[in-house]
Amino acid sequence: APPANGGTVASVASTGSAPDWQAVASAVSPAVVTIQVQSSSSTGMGSGVVYDAKGDIVTNYHVIAAAVQSGGKIQVTLADGRIYDAEVVGHDRTTDLAVIRLVNPPSDLTVARFGSSSHLTVGAPVMAIGAPLGLSKTVTTGIVSALNRPVEVAVDDDSSKNNGQGDSSDPFGQQKRNQSSSDTVITNAIQVDASLNPGNSGGPLFDEKGQVIGITSSIATMSRSSSEGGSGSIGIGFAIPVKLADKVAKQLIKSGTATHAYLGVTLDTAGATADGEKRGGAKITSVESGSPADKAGLKTNDVVIAIDGKTTAQGSALTGYVRQYSANDKVKLTVIRDSKKQDIDVTLAERKDS
């Protein structure tokens, strides 16, 4: 399939039953960059991937948040060592994605090929490239451990804590915080066991053909109270699926902002019984007046167990799925109401986030 963004990285063919990671790394590494952000109160580092020949770079919002909030300076180091200043094109807290653009970009940029995440299966081989702990061009490999894993993280605009590196026990800002500066991001993520560490944020996740299939964004870490506590990789990392990343990147490049479909409900996680079977689901605790949910006839205490046939065993899973859709998309929700299962069609609407 042609790349979603007109990438220039050559497709890599496997030479046998195992991926040729040496060939993949050689082909794609020039499209991966290291990002340094400096403001009056903090410094930070992350990774990114070249999206187009104009010098647009896709990364995580939390990587460049200090520059957005404090007018800090962004510098991008290409794989060959050349350094360029960069400006923010647009950002989206809701998905923790951002696009920055090189100032006076070179004419010989290598553009990554954004592929498809729909073909992924559990067990598929993957490669991550980024700058963990500041070590640029670091390559790690692994497999897809799970798909559509609901991941809820907090994106904190104040990166001045700990010199911009975040809490040592929470390097990606994952723990929920009761701070007005934090926005919750819910993503039905690709879970991988490839080693990811602070500094990998915003970098690309590749398949064995060298296509970008995700943007690495967070990791699971042991809690402080754990005897094995630590902030490094424990083999559980998460990436934003490329379908969502590409959709948001296109919107940010076009207008500087992104729009998201919404349902118009508040959710909890609860089980419900129908046809003698109890299932986990997303329980509706309130319905916004005039919202798509209200117009479709959804009610408080309905338990949504699937959207377009995809299981929603948690409230966060339904939220993550809805954010993958666009305004005016029609979806079919499978709902348990009064111990009876039924399908309800909903036309999603647009909600714009700054």
Tell me, yes or no, if 20 is annotated catalytic.
no
Query: For residue 334, what are the contacts with CB-CB under 8 A and spacing of at least 6?
Result: 304, 305, 306, 307, 309, 341, 342, 343
> Taking Cα atoms as reference points, which of 103, 67, 113, 61 lies closest to residue 83?
103
By residue count, the chain amounts to 354
**Candidate list 47, 201, 218, 231, residue with the active-site label:** 201
Burial of 17 (0-12, 13-18, 19+ CB in 10 A): exposed
**Candidate list 62, 193, 233, 246, residue with the active-site label:** 62
> Rounded to 5 degrees, what are φ and ψ at 191?
-95, 135
First and final C-alpha spacing in the chain: 33
Q: Residues 113, 3: contact at Cβ < 8 Å?
A: yes
Tell me, yes or no, if 225 is annotated catalytic.
no
Q: Residues 215, 58: contact at Cβ < 8 Å?
A: yes
Which residue matches tokens 């690709």? 190
> Taking Cα atoms as reference points, which of 55, 56, 61, 64 lies closest to residue 35?
64
Tell me, yes or no, if 62 is annotated catalytic.
yes
Give the pair of three-digit tokens for residue 315.
């409230």
**Candidate list 56, 92, 96, 156, residue with the active-site label:** 96
DSSP states along 192-257: E-S---TT-TT-EEE-TTSEEEEEEEEE--B-TTSTT-BSS--S-EEEEEHHHHHHHHHHHHHHS-
Give the pair of three-digit tokens for residue 225.
């109270």
The residues carrying an active-site annotation are: 62, 96, 201
